[in-house]
Amino acid sequence: MQSQKNKDKILIVDFGSQVTKLIARRIRELGVYSEIITPKKINKLRDYNDIKGIIFSGGPSTVTATKFETVPKEIFKKKIPILGICYGLQLIAKILGGKIKPSKKRREFGRAYLFKKKNSPLTNKYLEIRKAVWMSHEDAVVKLPKNFKTVASTKDSKLTIIENTQDKIYGVQFHPEVTHTDNGKQIFKNFLFLICKIRKKWNIPSQQNKLIDEIKNKVKNDKVICALSGGVDSSVVALLVNKAIKKNLICIMVDTGLMRKNEFKYTYRLFKNKYKLNVKLIDASKIFLKRLKNISNPEKKRKIIGNLFIKVFEKESKKNKKIKFLAQGTLYPDIIESKSSSGSKTSKIKSHHNVGGLPKKMNLQLIEPLKEFFKDEVRILGKSLGLVDSINYKHPFPGPGLGIRIIGDITQERIKILQEADNIYIKELIKKKLYKRIWQAYAALLPIKTVGVMGDLRTYENICLLRAVVSEDGMTADYFNFPKFFLDNISNKIINNVKGINRVVYDITSKPPSTIELE
């Protein structure tokens, strides 16, 4: 990420916790800018001027080992407030001379309850009533470093919130960033505004003009190409770049034939007629279908679709020599994820699809105006750019599209059946005001047929699987708990209206152990 000159910020040192991203998110929700960096990078950091506070994340390491992830001791002499979370707290204690023990007796996973020991600015308006906090640790601090005091304990862990008010160093053994911790946001609020005394300056719409100016200055009179899919990220990118350079933006829409019903035409017309963008539509559906014939292996499908998309897009971009830039909707979590493979120890759960991919092969410079944003922040930006709700609040849709929602062979007939069922399902969710409560919902076709009876006749047709999940970022998810009448109704509607389906099932698995998509 580019450096944020003259911008007061909170630095988050990522020791590899799965939820580090949530720390950044909570802080930005409070109107403060934050950046995540690796422990390696903080070693090299020379300019601390804009840093008003530092947070050490949790992580899988243990300070009881001979080798562990750490930071230079000098960091504590910079007079910048520090907050350690879980491993972060243990690291503070270790570096400053406390004692930490690996202990099966003291380990805590899941919910625990805080007991107040003393007042602290970190727990202002927080410990008045008993709070449940989320724990995930095996090691525990058993002796505090000099000048530290205990602010709160739990039944199994004595030193759960610690402080050194003189040097403004704080630690919490639990995870205030996760929603399982009651009102964890108050801890961050106190750290930011009472301890770091940072001011609220960060809000999304105020970033819009800055982003537009940056694009203008970078592109000058050259041309920019953008793959417009009709999802929220590429749509917001297209609107932003269009505001900056107007006709020098060329949006390409590649019709793979694997989109939802009518979605392609709708997006094309919207961007061409309402937003007056320079959009070029390429119908590549026949070639996609041809290459996918008789392919049922999920990874093979993904490769074929991905590579073909690049080929079609590349061919178009070569038609205009003035194209020097590629605009894409890379988000902040994508950047953190891709960095984590080379930087911090965050375990990679899933490779992201919009980092890397296109640009290396195409020799174009990248424009990624959303690379500092989370998905919900992109939606706020979309709103302020006038993006219609139907796109701004659209559920995520995977690059390979219906290709990975038709399990088994992909044929024109099966695409059509799925499009119809999916369309009925999504429309019903919108009608019943459930759509916005769900992170992602879709219909899929399973590769088996089953027997049914319709009228007095035997049928032997496809099974349609419905999926709906709630999630914060797609990394973990729970299935959505539909009221029974919704499931009854949707099952009837699909079977009565879609020829080729005689059975509807609802997927009741979470992620993990399943994934959101079936392939």
Candidates 59, 257, 398, 403; binder of ligand XMP (CB under 6 A) is 398
Q: Which is catalytic among the residues 69, 108, 177, 337? A: 177
CB of 353 to ligand XMP, least distance (A): 4
Residue with token string 């380990």: 107
CB atoms within 10 A of CB 125: 10
Is-contact 163 175, C-beta < 8 A? no
Counting every residue written for the chain, the total comes to 519
Candidates 350, 361, 427, 499; binder of ligand XMP (CB under 6 A) is 350
Q: Does 401 bind ligand XMP (CB under 6 A)?
A: no
d(CA 106, CA 230): 51
d(CA 382, CA 240): 9
Taking the alpha carbons at both ends of the chain, their separation in whole angstroms is 32
Q: What are phi and psi of 325, to 5 degrees?
A: -130, 150
Q: Is 175 a catalytic residue?
A: yes
d(CA 519, CA 517): 6
Tokens describing residue 519: 């392939």
Helix (H) or strand (E) holding 269: helix 263-269
Q: Does 403 bind ligand XMP (CB under 6 A)?
A: no
Whole-angstrom CA distances from 342 to 39, 366, 405, 430, 475 are 12, 20, 32, 41, 20
CB of 72 to ligand XMP, least distance (A): 37
Residue with token string 């059946």: 417
| Residues β-bridged to residue 231 | none
Helix (H) or strand (E) holding 23: helix 20-29
CB of 171 to ligand XMP, least distance (A): 33
Contacting ligand XMP within 430-489 (CB under 6 A): 440, 474
Give SS3 for 119: coil
Q: Which is catalytic among the residues 175, 263, 368, 377? A: 175
Candidates 121, 396, 452, 500; binder of ligand XMP (CB under 6 A) is 396
CB of 365 to ligand XMP, least distance (A): 22
Q: Is 138 a catalytic residue?
A: no
Q: Does 353 bind ligand XMP (CB under 6 A)?
A: yes
Q: Does 399 bind ligand XMP (CB under 6 A)?
A: yes
Q: Are strands 9-13 and 51-56 parallel, antiparallel or unpaired?
A: parallel
Candidates 83, 212, 237, 516; binder of ligand XMP (CB under 6 A) is 516
Contacting ligand XMP within 197-256 (CB under 6 A): none
**Count of residues engaged in binding ligand XMP, rule: CB under 6 A:** 12
Q: Does 258 bind ligand XMP (CB under 6 A)?
A: no
Candidates 109-117, 118-126, 321-329, 392-400; binding stretch for ligand XMP (CB under 6 A): 392-400
Residue 230's Cβ-side half-sphere holds a number of Cα atoms within 13 Å equal to 21
- 427: closest CA among 506, 358, 338, 489? 489
Which CB sits closer to ligand XMP, 50 or 507? 507
d(CA 395, CA 467): 12
Which CB sits closer to ligand XMP, 184 or 333? 333
Which CB sits closer to ligand XMP, 302 or 449? 302
Q: Is 86 a catalytic residue?
A: yes
Candidates 123-131, 149-157, 397-405, 496-504; binding stretch for ligand XMP (CB under 6 A): 397-405
CB of 429 to ligand XMP, least distance (A): 16
CB of 304 to ligand XMP, least distance (A): 12
Return the active site residues. 86, 175, 177
Residues in the site for ligand XMP, rule: CB under 6 A? 350, 353, 396, 398-400, 440, 474, 511, 515-517
